[in-house]
Amino acid sequence: MLLEGKIAIITGAASQRGIGRAMARTFAHHGARVVILDLDEKAARDAAEDLGSDHLGLAANVADAAQVSRAVEAVIQRYGRIDALVNNAGITQPLKTLEIRGSDYDKVLDVSLRGTLLMSQAVIPTMRAQKSGSIVCLSSVSAQRGGGIFGGPHYSAAKAGVLGLARAMARELGPDNIRVNSLTPGLIHTDITGGLLSDERLNGILAGIPLGRMGNAQEVADAALFLASDLSTYLTGITLDVNGGMLIH
């Protein structure tokens, strides 16, 4: 039990086959009380109920400051503390540079980058008062290698922004014993591509992965467990690759 008695918020954790959902199950299995925060209230509540009793499902758009602060207030009311935040909510779009309209840019950047900032801002005062906390941010191998997987350049930019934001927060919040780390998953089998990844493209990507396969959501959840738990108390500002060796350099 690596998270016994801990309170963990995971954003974007209602998606049935998603990375956030796998994290929620894993954290609950390790003794945490988990708050699932997602766009749809019923989906978030159902996902929390699936974990067992004393977990919480809340609706919030992570890109909306008022919704974020209401949701985090509800968590503090209910549990009185916040030990871990996983900034997992994210969307992608397979667009080329010249196809990206302003509204596409806003959508993709808002969820990953603004959402990570707003959620972190909402939990930091509580973590500061506790003098402890772990924030885990979902970036992507697309940030490191300049896309070429599924998402367009705006997705790479959003996820590269997450890396910079996480490292800068790690530097600033270290004195408060708040750790901030990033995960950079490679190609993980979830619904994020909406069935739009062709077999040809998939086979091309697989050819460049030393482990020769896609990752699964559980493998990312296990890495998040490591960063959220006391197994990683001297790690902050790191980028942990979970990509089957796709980016050995």
Q: Which residues are catalytic?
A: 155
Within 28-47, which residues bind ligand NAD (CB under 6 A)? 38-39
Q: Which of 187, 221, 223, 225 binds ligand NAD (CB under 6 A)?
A: 187
Strands 7-11, 33-38: parallel, antiparallel or unpaired by DSSP?
parallel
Least separation in angstroms between residue 248's CB and ligand NAD is 17
Rounded CA gap, 224 and 240, in Å? 9
* 63 is a site residue for ligand NAD (CB under 6 A): yes
Q: What is the per-residue binding string for ligand NAD in 68-107, x denoting contact by CB under 6 A?
A: --------------------xxxxx---------------
Least separation in angstroms between residue 44's CB and ligand NAD is 9
* 11 is a site residue for ligand NAD (CB under 6 A): yes
Rounded CA gap, 165 and 178, in Å? 14
Rounded CA gap, 21 and 14, in Å? 6
Q: With the C-alpha atoms ordered 140, 93, 206, 157, is the resulting torsion angle positive or negative?
A: negative
Quick count: other Cβ atoms within 10 Å of Cβ 96? 9
Rounded CA gap, 24 and 14, in Å? 9
Whether the Cβ atoms of residue 104 and residue 95 lie closer than 8 Å to each other: yes
Q: Which is nearer to ligand NAD, 35 or 132 (CB)?
A: 35
Q: Which helix (H) or strand (E) holds 56?
A: strand 56-59
Shortest-Cβ-distance residue relative to ligand NAD = 90
Q: What is the per-residue binding string for ligand NAD in 122-151, x denoting contact by CB under 6 A?
A: ----------------x-x-----------
* 190 is a site residue for ligand NAD (CB under 6 A): yes
Helix axes 115-130, 153-173, angle to 10 degrees: 20
Binding site for ligand NAD (CB under 6 A): 11-12, 14-15, 18-20, 38-39, 61-63, 88-92, 111-112, 115, 138, 140, 185, 187-188, 190-192
